[in-house]
Amino acid sequence: MRITYAILVISSLTAFFVSAEDRPALILGPTDVDSKSVRVVGAEPNVNMIIHFRGKTQKEIDALYVTNRGNRILFRRPDGTTTQPGVWGSRHVDAKDNIIGTVVIYSKKQDARDAASVLRESH
């Protein structure tokens, strides 16, 4: 019985940790993000772009986080092309610990700036 249990635990852990390359990237448009919230901070190779979601509850944002943590995230331009991928990092919370957004991680500052400009200028 213990062996069976251990195998089930290992199987479920293996299923949980699926690499980002095995999952389709999350693609968001400018209407998904509050354009005034977009900030780029940090220096290469750890550049962060902070975004707050528009029209999503804490529960919806948390579900996106759980599903996409570590996944690639791209932003769609008005012409249909996408930005260079970033990686979905941590949740972003306000002063009262309400989940309001996420941190997208880039290795190049220019990639983060390009994504930020798409989100700021497309409204």
One pLDDT digit (tens) per residue for the chain, 123 residues: 433 333 333 333 333 444 445 778 889 988 899 999 999 999 888 899 999 999 898 899 888 888 888 889 999 998 999 999 999 888 888 888 888 888 999 999 999 999 999 999 855
Q: How many CA within 13 A on the CB side of residue 49?
A: 33
| pTM score of the predicted model | 0.76
CA 105 to chain centre: 8
Q: How many CA within 13 A on the CB side of residue 58?
A: 7
Q: Which two tokens stand for residue 59?
A: 């529960």
Which domains, and CATH codes, for the chain? 21-121 (2.40.240)
- The DSSP code for 123 is -
